[in-house]
Amino acid sequence: MSHTTLYDKIWQAHLVDEQDDGNCLLYIDRHLIHEVTSPQAFEGLRMSGRQVRVPSKTLAVADHNIPTTNRAGGVEAIEDEQSRIQIETLEKNCAEFGIDHIGMMDLRQGIVHVTGPEEGFTMPGLTIVCGDSHTSTHGAFGALAHGIGTSEVEHVLATQTLAQRKAKNFRVNVVGDAPDYITAKDIALAVIGEIGTAGGTGYVLEYAGPAIEALTMEGRMTLCNMSIEAGARAGLIAPDEKTFEYLKDRPRAPKGADWDAAVAYWQTLRSDSDAVFDREITIDAANLPPLVTWGTSPQDVISINGRVPDPAAIDNEARRKATERALAYMGLEADMPVQSIEIDRVFIGSCTNSRIEDLRAAAKVVEGKKVSDRVNAMVVPGSGLVKKQAEEEGLDKVFLDAGFEWRDPGCSMCLAMNADKLSPQERCASTSNRNFEGRQGREGRTHLVSPAMAAAAAIRGHFVDIRDF
């Protein structure tokens, strides 16, 4: 094949059936499930007397609703009854249908999008789905990965396929040498700021260019993770030596001759030089400032040296109304400098930014300093393995000495389903992915930033330019 994109190639390799009307059936290689979006799918299977077609292609881990403190007593000791029932239901469903389940007390337990790659469950060229929109994370490996609804979870369990229509191709070229202080998070926010939260709707994004090649695998996961915030169900990065290096010797990665054969195949997974994209943009990473969101949509992106927008200067009525609403919700004045915004909470965690490199970056900023008196700050590692690694490196000590809380792994305050949430009007510098109204707690106010920027804000009590820190 020539003229084809990486997305085209993976799509074509998984096409089970194509109807004349463009509706297709795509084979699904890997399915991740968690406690929140799977119970109704299993219930559906039971009600219709259906089985799981290939149990070995599904992996379960609880993350959304799991407590991040006081876990010693195990699942039965979880205080919140509904949370406990949901987690127990996942365990029971997995046992009943023969699905591999990583339990809460297992060291490997973590956020599904951290655990999947750590296990080597995620690999290039595969189709990967999960009932969670941030499944786009796994595109960092050159896998076609996206979120699905619960009806589709049931469909994949029953048939190992998904009914799909092909998306369009959108290449995001990121050129230039990103300075040290520009992280994958800043690049992600820059992309969303540029194309908007609906800019990627109907497309699969492929991130390419020197600044993407320069990213580590963890950085690539951060970037692909936020593709959904730009409206794209999936984001992709062509696999390279870094990808193979990351996967080698992972528990579920191929071994021996299988590994060699897999790498040989993976090396073919890239867009042709003459591939045609329906849309392209280019972003220069060399000239990006550290970014912060000011509003209630991930596209509300602004430079750390910028000012909060003034609705009076916006012509489009829908946009102006949305901006007015966002400013009121966020408790901000038009035109105020971003660095004058004081914060109450800091959350370092989530499937976007909870991996070891994220924690190292934050710890480097925090080391030897103290969290501002006005700030309550917490670190929630993405998995038990990340937590263990961080503790071996002494990062837990750095955070604890500075006054951070050091928690057990889970989604935590990214979506605030468990006890970790903002109180009304509390303002949070968060390394997560969504600043929607109420996302981190009713009337809570979220600003999205990189781990280093969140850490610096924790120390100073307001946003600061990491370049001056």
**Range 341-400, binding other proteins (CB under 8 A):** none
The residue within the footprint of other proteins, chosen from 233, 270, 427, 462 (CB under 8 A), is 233
Minimum CB–partner distance for residue 452 and other proteins (Å): 26
CB of 149 to other proteins, least distance (A): 4
Q: Which of 176, 209, 254, 306 binds other proteins (CB under 8 A)?
A: 254
Among 85, 281, 334, 336, binds other proteins (CB under 8 A): 85
CB of 336 to other proteins, least distance (A): 23
Judged by CB under 8 A, how many residues of this single chain contact other proteins? Answer: 75
Question: Which of 6, 8, 39, 94 is in the footprint of other proteins by CB under 8 A?
Answer: 39
Instruction: Give the pair of three-digit tokens for residue 256.
Output: 């021996």
Cα dihedral 31, 35, 38, 43 sign? positive
Binding mask 130-159 for other proteins (x = CB under 8 A): -xxx------------xxxxxxx-xx--xx
What is the footprint of other proteins within residues 58-77 (CB under 8 A)? 64-65
Query: Nearer to other proteins by C-beta: 45 or 182?
Result: 45
Among 4-12, 46-54, 339-347, 456-464, the segment contacting other proteins (CB under 8 A): 46-54
| Alpha-carbon gap, residue 309 to 293, rounded angstroms | 11
Which residue from 94, 126, 377, 379 is in contact with other proteins, where contact means CB under 8 A? 126
Please identify which residue in 5, 37, 353, 372 interacts with other proteins, judged by CB under 8 A.
Answer: 37
321: contact with other proteins by CB under 8 A: yes
Which one, 389 or 425, has the nearer CB to other proteins? 425
Q: How far is the CB of 226 from other proteins (least distance, A)?
A: 12
Distance in Å, CB of 279 to other proteins, minimum: 16
Question: Nearer to other proteins by C-beta: 86 or 372?
Answer: 86
d(CA 23, CA 16): 11
The neighbouring-strand residues paired with 405 are: 378
> For residues 156-215, which are near other proteins according to CB under 8 A?
158-161, 163, 165, 197-198, 201-202
In the bound state with other proteins, the residue whose beta carbon lies nearer, of 96 and 177, is 96
Taking residues 448 to 467 in sequence order and writing x for each that binds other proteins by CB under 8 A, - otherwise, the string is --------------------
Q: Does the footprint of other proteins cover residue 82 (CB under 8 A)?
A: yes
- Tokens matching residue 76: 């039965």
Tokens 């961080």 sit on residue: 390
Work out whether 92 is an interface residue with other proteins (CB under 8 A).
Answer: no
Residue type, 53: R
Q: Which stretch binds other proteins (CB under 8 A): 129-137, 270-278, 334-342, 357-365?
A: 129-137
CB of 397 to other proteins, least distance (A): 32
According to the binding rule CB under 8 A, does residue 95 interact with other proteins? no
* Calpha distance 195→207 (Å, rounded): 14
What does residue 445 show for φ and ψ, rounded to 5 degrees? -120, 120
Whose Cβ is closer to other proteins: residue 146's or residue 387's? 146
Q: Which stretch binds other proteins (CB under 8 A): 49-57, 236-244, 306-314, 383-391?
A: 49-57
Helix/strand/coil (H/E/C) assignment for every residue in the chain: CCCCCHHHHHHHHCEEEECCCCCEEEECCEEEECCCCCHHHHHHHHHHCCCCCCHHHEEEECCCCCCCCCCCCCHHHCCCHHHHHHHHHHHHHHHHHCCEEECCCCCCCECHHHHHHHHCCCCCCCEEEECCHHHHHHHHHCCEEEECCHHHHHHHHHHCEEEECCCEEEEEEEECCCCCCCCHHHHHHHHHHHHCCCCCCCEEEEEECHHHHCCCHHHHHHHHHHHHHHCCCEEECCCCHHHHHHHCCCCCCCCHHHHHHHHHHHCCCCCCCCCCCCEEEEEEHHHCCCEEECCCCCCCEEECCCECCCHHHCCCHHHHHHHHHHHHHHCCCCCCEHHHCECCEEEECCCCCCCHHHHHHHHHHHCCCCCCCCCEEEECCCEHHHHHHHHHCCHHHHHHHHCCEECCCCCHHHCCCCCCCCCCCCEEEECCCCCCCCCCCCCCEEEECCHHHHHHHHHHCECCCHHHC
Minimum distance, C-beta of residue 142 to other proteins, in the bound complex (Å): 14
The residue (of 51 and 282) whose beta carbon lies closer to other proteins is 51
Q: Which is nearer to other proteins, 185 or 439 (CB)?
A: 439
**Least distance between other proteins and beta carbon 229 (Å):** 8
Determine, following the binding rule CB under 8 A, whether residue 425 of this chain makes contact with other proteins: no
Q: Check: CB of residue 447 under 8 Å from CB of residue 428.
A: yes
Tell me the closest approach of the beta carbon of residue 248 to other proteins, in angstroms: 13
